[in-house]
């Protein structure tokens, strides 16, 4: 793996998440006035080059009022704004933390800077972690003794060894703020009808309140350790019976658990402001889940948004972006958050496969264009085997560590993610961006400081010349084969 080469622009404005606003309350600085005296810089990552989020060219706009049908164009309109971005990031799992702990100090610092530093890295602002064990843990565990319905034995001692220290270091590297949400893969076995944390099963009715209390105990314990919990999902992949930790919730089960137990319990404990995420599973069934949960006002009032994954491709088909759009159209007052995605079946021989990053780029562009406000990758770090994973479900991550040598290996995923997370900051609003050729994928945003970030992705093997069109002007630009670029107007 070639040494990481990153050429970055000056430090961007780091906004506070509480300053997010609805479209009706835009900051004056977010209004794009004109191209006059604006600097236009292109940052590019391209296959078969050394360019990795590298400053590649500067663009100059000239009068270009009416394109011809033969002109290849990307059209941008900063005056039309849509959803507000919450953040972009990845999950700090047991596997990530255990791998991180095996690295020498120098590699740990390189890793933290690469992900969380805005100037010299890609500026992650969002994170996810697991409640109890998941497949990306070295073994199954819970935080209580068997049969402890009162949760008197509740302890997060397991997480204090690796995971919490890593989260704290990530928070510090991110400037003291990292919006973390937590997801359970399974309640303790004794709370379930199959008496097993693995292989699905369902939460027994008599333990619904105990399980709701469990989330509260987790949040309190983490926050006592100095790790704020921004949000939580009800259940990871609630329709998947897996050979690892899993638990089945039908749409009606989840709706009733939210409105009768989890929602009221969070409110009573002063945690009503935590962002409660329903579904947390694939795009294929997300509309059905959203309809059942959100059409019930007693459940909907507790729900911040709908989370989704990208593994609907297990059927052999493509990612179903239209389903994201349908949920956004039907429930525009609720947020959409991509909560997990990774490429499965890890092989060290594929570590430099460019298709890894291109899948991320395609998903990021389409998910944001269809109304998503936040995008969270799965494991931020795995070892040279794609683990650790206690059931052999080895997968890819943007960064892998060779624990034998202590060296980090950066996949194309890292750079494709960085073209969004580095330039599209919390509080940014999506704006109009579209191409008149399907060979170019694009989305765009205006940040709270007025900087416009336009992402253009070329998944083809051809170099494509195009005109970037804005306010009756056009700039000549080139999209390299198998590349992604972020065009920054400031």
Rounded to 5 degrees, what angle do the CA atoms 240, 243, 245 make?
Answer: 70
Please check whether residue 95 is in contact with residue 132, taking contact to mean a CB–CB distance below 8 angstroms.
no
Tokens describing residue 83: 């959803």
Read off the DSSP letter of residue 146: T
Catalytic pick from 110, 237, 245, 413?
237
Catalytic pick from 98, 110, 245, 340?
340
Closest CA to 35 of 471, 477, 487: 471
> Which residues neighbour 384 within 8 Å (Cβ) at sequence distance 6 or greater?
348, 400, 401, 402, 403, 404, 409
**How far apart, in whole angstroms, are the C-alpha atoms of residue 294 and residue 288?**
10
Q: 178: left (phi > 0), else alpha (psi -120 to 50), else beta?
A: beta
Tokens describing residue 300: 């909907």
Closest CA to 289 of 251, 324, 256, 263: 251
Residue 388, preceding peptide bond in cis (omega within 30° of 0): yes
Q: Helix or strand or coil: residue 475?
A: strand
**How far apart, in whole angstroms, are the C-alpha atoms of residue 174 and residue 111?**
12
Alpha helices by DSSP H, 312-456: 321-330, 355-369, 412-421
340 is catalytic: yes
Read off the DSSP letter of residue 406: T
> Which residues neighbour 370 within 8 Å (Cβ) at sequence distance 6 or greater?
321, 322, 324, 325, 328, 336
Q: Helix or strand or coil: residue 439?
A: coil
413 is catalytic: no
Active site amino acids: 237, 340
């Amino acid at each position: 793996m070639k040494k990481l080469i990153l050429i970055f622009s000056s430090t961007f404005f780091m906004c506070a998440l509480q300053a997010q606003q609805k479209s009706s309350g835009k900051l004056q600085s977010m209004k794009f006035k004109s191209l006059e005296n604006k600097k236009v810089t292109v940052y590019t990552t391209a296959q078969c080059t050394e360019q990795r989020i590298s400053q590649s060219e500067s663009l100059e706009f000239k009068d270009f009022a009416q394109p011809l049908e033969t002109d290849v164009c990307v059209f941008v309109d900063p005056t039309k704004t849509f959803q507000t971005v919450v953040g972009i990031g990845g999950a700090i799992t047991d596997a990530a933390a255990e791998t991180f702990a095996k690295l020498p100090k120098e590699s740990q610092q390189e890793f933290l800077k690469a992900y969380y530093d805005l100037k010299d890295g890609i500026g992650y602002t969002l994170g996810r972690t697991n409640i109890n064990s998941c497949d990306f843990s070295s073994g199954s565990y819970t935080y209580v003794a068997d049969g402890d319905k009162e949760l008197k034995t509740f302890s997060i001692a397991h997480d204090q060894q690796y995971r919490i220290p890593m989260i704290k270091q990530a928070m510090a590297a991110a400037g003291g703020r990292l919006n973390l949400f937590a997801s359970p893969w399974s309640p303790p076995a004794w709370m379930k009808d199959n008496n097993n944390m693995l292989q699905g099963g369902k939460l027994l009715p008599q333990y619904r309140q105990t399980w709701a209390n469990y989330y509260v105990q987790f949040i309190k314990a983490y926050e006592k350790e100095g790790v704020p919990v921004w949000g939580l999902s009800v259940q990871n992949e609630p329709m998947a019976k897996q050979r690892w930790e899993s638990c089945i919730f039908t749409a009606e089960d989840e709706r009733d658990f939210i409105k009768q137990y989890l929602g009221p319990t969070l409110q009573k404990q002063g945690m009503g402001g935590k962002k409660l995420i329903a579904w947390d599973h694939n795009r294929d069934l997300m509309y059905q889940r959203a309809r059942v949960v959100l059409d019930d006002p007693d459940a909907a009032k507790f729900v911040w948004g709908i989370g989704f994954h990208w593994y609907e491709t297990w059927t052999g088909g493509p990612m179903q972006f239209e389903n994201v759009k349908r949920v956004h159209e039907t429930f525009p007052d609720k947020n959409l958050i991509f909560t997990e995605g990774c490429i499965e079946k890890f092989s060290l021989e594929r570590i430099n496969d460019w298709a890894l990053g291109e899948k991320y780029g395609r998903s990021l562009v389409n998910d944001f264009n269809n109304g998503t406000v936040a995008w969270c990758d799965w494991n931020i770090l795995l070892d040279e085997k794609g683990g650790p994973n206690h059931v052999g479900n080895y997968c890819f991550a943007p960064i892998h560590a060779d624990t034998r040598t202590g060296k980090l290996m950066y996949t194309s995923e890292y750079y494709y993610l960085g073209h969004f997370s580095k330039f599209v900051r919390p509080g940014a609003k999506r704006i109009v961006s579209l191409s008149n050729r399907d060979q170019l994928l694009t989305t765009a945003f205006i940040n709270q400081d007025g900087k416009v970030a336009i992402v253009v992705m070329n998944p083809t093997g051809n170099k494509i010349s195009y005109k970037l069109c804005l306010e009756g002007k056009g700039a000549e630009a080139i999209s390299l084969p198998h590349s992604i670029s972020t065009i920054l107007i400031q």
